[in-house]
Amino acid sequence: MNILVADKISYAYPGKILFTDFSLSVSQNEWIGIIGNNGTGKTTLLKVLAQLIKAQQGKVSLFDPESGLTLKPYERVYVGQHEFSQHEAFPATALEVVIGAFTPILGLFKRPQKKHVLAAKAILSDMGLGDEIHTQLSALSGGQRQRVFIAKALLMKPKLLLLDEPSSALDAQFTLKLFSILKRYQAQGMAIIMITHDLALAKTVSDRIFCLGESDILLLEEPQIEEELAHRHTHMGGVHEHL
């Protein structure tokens, strides 16, 4: 059953069309990759799909695959590309930030129970931050802060997870671990929509890959992906975003 249906959505800024009449259906436990050059509207598209901003035309619907009802806010979680850097001076520990995932359910004035604290500690440990649970967010590195916010996103086991460049501040070793963790959640039914500049990485985890171009969105087929990867392999001297 579909968890997300986008019906002919469009979005533009003054003087620039990002995408027009784009339709997309995402099923439960499907992983969608989104790539494209800077400025093509990837983050705007992700926010429209997350219902953080409204499409200028068309409609996005989010469904609970089990009940068919609209997803609750905590069942669809968006982690922005700069989430980890914008809160670097926030006066809270890694554990306090992650426990904050329970606020939509508990409310602002209800203290987390022991089971909530243990769950938060467990997921921080899974993220390699078991020794940093009481460390202030401002004292963590950019990559560690990024892991904190991804841990917070995963704690509630949302049915839909939307990630904007989730590995941008991570080293290669932990990136592989992170995607192994995400694959585990996907196998349990979570749908994932992810922006990345790493086409090779997107290919290894995604069920479908879409590329944003100038005012359009293209579903990449296997031959196109392989051709682009081969093309990039011949330009190893630097980052080469041809798509």
CATH number, domain containing residue 20 = 3.40.50.300
Q: How confident is the model at residue 230 (pLDDT cuts 50, 70, 90)?
A: confident
- Considering the domain architecture, whether residues 168 and 224 belong to the same structural domain is answered as yes
* Mean of per-residue pLDDT scores for the chain: 89
Asked whether residue 210 is domain-assigned, the answer is yes
- Considering the domain architecture, whether residues 115 and 128 belong to the same structural domain is answered as yes
Would the pLDDT of 86 be above 60? no
What's the pLDDT at 216? 87
- What does the alpha-carbon distance between residue 220 and residue 229 come to, in Å, rounded to a whole number? 12
- Considering the domain architecture, whether residues 235 and 127 belong to the same structural domain is answered as no
What's the pLDDT at 240? 40
- Considering the domain architecture, whether residues 7 and 60 belong to the same structural domain is answered as yes
Mean pLDDT within 82-97: 73
What's the pLDDT at 88? 56
18 neighbors 45 (Cβ within 8 angstroms): yes
140 neighbors 160 (Cβ within 8 angstroms): no
- Does the pTM surpass 0.75? The reply is yes
- Considering the domain architecture, whether residues 65 and 168 belong to the same structural domain is answered as yes
- Considering the domain architecture, whether residues 151 and 191 belong to the same structural domain is answered as no
Report how far apart, in Å, the C-alpha atoms of 44 and of each of 55, 114, 157 are.
9, 38, 24
Would the pLDDT of 241 be above 50? no
Mean pLDDT within 186-194: 96
- Considering the domain architecture, whether residues 142 and 24 belong to the same structural domain is answered as no
Would the pLDDT of 55 be above 90? yes
pLDDT digits (tens, 9 = 90+) for 133-177: 999 998 999 899 999 999 999 998 999 999 999 998 898 899 999
Return the closest-CA partner of residue 64 out of 27, 30, 22. 27
- What does the alpha-carbon distance between residue 57 and residue 130 come to, in Å, rounded to a whole number? 45
Asked whether residue 180 is domain-assigned, the answer is no
Strand 217-220 with 76-79, pairing = unpaired
- Considering the domain architecture, whether residues 125 and 223 belong to the same structural domain is answered as no
Q: Give the domain extent around 95.
A: 87-156
- Considering the domain architecture, whether residues 190 and 114 belong to the same structural domain is answered as no
Question: Based on the structure, what is the number of domains in the chain?
Answer: 2
pLDDT digits (tens, 9 = 90+) for 57-79: 999 999 998 888 999 988 999 99
Mean pLDDT within 187-205: 94
- Considering the domain architecture, whether residues 5 and 55 belong to the same structural domain is answered as yes
The percent of residues above 90 in pLDDT, for the chain, comes to 69
Asked whether residue 31 is domain-assigned, the answer is yes
Asked whether residue 35 is domain-assigned, the answer is yes
